[in-house]
Structure 1
């Protein structure tokens, strides 16, 4: 009697392996900071630094490029002012800076195959923190280089730095541990075994309809949008606020507006280590992601909203700005890497979509803020900061309610099984 063969389509594992925190079946930890995976994180860190610095330098030197005979504009540009009247506009309004790829999809394709689940927070945070350091470097040095050597040298210097890091990228970065020629056998086995239940070489079509119906995906997009609104206020309007309220010297303004980024850089890296530490203490993955996201949104936006009420104290204002800028980067260990949790197979796509969605904020912030400030110079800053807080809070609430960290059903590997 012949047996009957039935073809059935089954889903992959029903529970996210990360939600079990540190898998006890994984081999013992191999080298940490001196390992290949941390070396890749450092390379991505400096590549992000170069990328963001070159983007910001473009805005810093734009006035000088349009009117190279106006030497004073070289100093003004160091504070990220972009006088629209010099470009044919009518009002002096600071333009929004590009986010430089915070949470960009391409990096997640790397960590999908290189980042053990219980180390992803710190690896991603190390890599993404290069963006904030790039903002600090360009904001601090761009104006000085333009004044001392001329605006073309800002492109020569930062472009040369980018070429150096690009060389390291091409030589040292590989798609996965298997293809890397210099990784140790123990580290290769460690990474591959930790990703055994998540990474697959099989190709599957992108489930567009399922993604569009997924509330966790929409929560990522809305939260990234609201946080990007906060970041644009911090990066673009911090020097504007300092200059307009305290009439600080333009040169000092450039230094002061760059200072809070140092705190952000440190906090961003430490936040990733803290998130992974909480995972080892039996915190659920979604709890860690939401804690990091709340701390990176609510206190940061609250400190900014409080600025008009402490404008009589210059030191307090700088302190609030520094704390806000530092706390905002905790989201790197929260919402910005959550795409790797809910859909590791499609994390690069989801991260790219959420980033592009967040760029809407980068377009709207200068338009709306410029309008508010032009209509009511006295209360314009209050309206600007209150609106930022409201948008930030709404995006955060949406993420707290609908955000998840389990692999979604549509993102699980489909296997053909014969019975």
Structure 2
């Protein structure tokens, strides 16, 4: 591995570590959604085993491609136990509390994570946060056996650590990615998608064979191993990397120019908060995270409790949407780079046009899902396509903060993630409220309607008020006088080459969004 690290370009090693970092943080975040199904027997209020609305009504089991709950017709007197540990009699509200507690502190540390990485370096911020997350995950089985409150506390601190990671990664992208390769580096943020796919695909069989506690220990051990490779392979800037070649270092530094500085000063918070383009990006990001967290936190429960798949199948089925998201994100990224390279659309038009795929179409598909009934193939297809099309987020909310101010990309993403992450504890609570009387399609229908509305409204707001142009407050005050050079560079970054002799100062307003 070390020889390989010294032979290939450092940028490739960095891309791999960015990708796997997102993989690791999502692996530790999403495992609880499926683990709870094994830890808590799904029962009705009268104590009988819960049967999904789509279970066969007679005693003859329909042998479909994937088996139904427990692989046999479930009688009221039989509950399949997951080996290796206790089962907990936690209510739906307590389970929602466990799932949502991850996001109580997550928005706060997301808010400061970008600033911490800009000041002290993203390498150590990610390393310390990931190491702490691994230890907390390993302690989760012990906490669960104490009480659900102890598990809530563990999840709370896990969210505190996890909130630092994504803003710090965006700081790393801003310092390492040449403008021509920005899309490739941002695509590494889809690593969380693959982490979800692998985690949900393997967690079910792992728990059925070794017990639910193994679904905490194995991810924790993998994360500790990953931390070592992160420490060895990653540096804060090209200038600080011990094994980078002079040719590669000069290429990166020349490409970045003076757009990104390792500044120790505070970001221009007043300009950021009063920026309407930034507000539009934040709302778009919130809509994206609402849909993402909805499928992540309650998707396995819908697949298991309503559609009626067994535990191992529920993990695989729940992971399919994320696999589709990873695949289509790659396709959308290539298409977006092709369009921008040939100047078929400006950056702003690209950001707005692809909202149709990243937000509006997924919202429409969620509405259609509630009318699919017990057609499991159709339901799974609609969930998969909804999340798959959301892969276009790599061209919308996941890049827009880099457009607006690459010098403060971590801070912008941290603020947007702080706001957007509140969806992580709202979605389980809303789901628990509407499904408290049972897991029927009628109970779940309002949940999907809410998710679709947030998707679509946030996209429409960005289409009207968003922009892909760099903002004047990206540059420190001492750089304001460099109008000729800066304006030419700004327009080139935005996908519009400057005219000869053009030196007018770029100013953005809330209504100046068409470019």
| Residue 320 to residue 61, structure 1, CA distance change in 2 (3 Å) | closer
Q: Within 2, Cα distance between the matches of 1:302 and 1:355?
A: 24
Aligned residue number for residue 144 of structure 1: 205
C-alpha displacement of 1:34: 5.0
Aligned residue number for residue 476 of structure 2: 413
C-alpha displacement of 1:353: 1.1
Q: Any idea what the Cα deviations from partners look like across 1:93-112, whole Å, max 9, x if unmatched?
A: 69457696699211111011
Aligned residue among 362, 373, 377 for 1:315: 377
Coordinate RMSD, CA, aligned: 3.1
C-alpha displacement of 1:178: 1.5
Q: Scaled by the length of structure 2, what TM-score is found?
A: 0.66
Is it true that 1:346 corresponds to 2:349 in the alignment?
no
1:47–1:162 Cα contact (<8 Å) kept: no
C-alpha displacement of 1:266: 1.7
| Residue 49 to residue 71, structure 1, CA distance change in 2 (3 Å) | farther
Is it true that 1:178 corresponds to 2:239 in the alignment?
yes
More divergent stretch after superposition (363-372 vs 269-278): 269-278
Aligned residue among 355, 364, 370 for 1:302: 364
Q: Any idea what the Cα deviations from partners look like across 1:218-259, whole Å, max 9, x if unmatched?
A: 112211111111112222333333334433333322222222
Q: Within 2, Cα distance between the matches of 1:71 and 1:121?
A: 49
Is it true that 1:337 corresponds to 2:399 in the alignment?
yes
2:197–2:322 Cα contact (<8 Å) kept: yes
C-alpha displacement of 1:128: 1.0
Is it true that 1:403 corresponds to 2:377 in the alignment?
no
Unaligned runs of at least 5 residues, structure 2: 1-6, 42-77, 107-161, 483-515
Q: Within 2, Cα distance between the matches of 1:89 and 1:306?
A: 26
Aligned residue among 12, 18, 29 for 1:44: 18
Q: Within 2, Cα distance between the matches of 1:146 and 1:124?
A: 33
Q: Within 2, Cα distance between the matches of 1:317 and 1:34?
A: 44
Aligned residue among 64, 86, 91 for 2:89: 86
Aligned residue number for residue 26 of structure 1: none
User: For 1:151, what is the secondary structure of its paired residue?
Assistant: coil
Q: Within 2, Cα distance between the matches of 1:360 and 1:308?
A: 24
Q: Scaled by the length of structure 1, what TM-score is found?
A: 0.80
List aligned pairs for 1:8-407, cutoff 5 A: 34-61=8-35, 72=80, 74=82, 86-87=89-90, 95-96=99-100, 104-125=166-187, 127-282=188-343, 283-374=345-436, 377-407=440-470
More divergent stretch after superposition (167-176 vs 239-248): 239-248
C-alpha displacement of 1:89: 6.2
C-alpha displacement of 1:355: 0.8
Q: Which has the higher contact order (CA 8 A, sep 6+)?
A: 1
1:119–1:276 Cα contact (<8 Å) kept: no
1:369–1:384 Cα contact (<8 Å) kept: yes
Aligned residue number for residue 7 of structure 1: none
Q: Within 1, Cα distance between the matches of 2:241 and 2:287?
A: 38
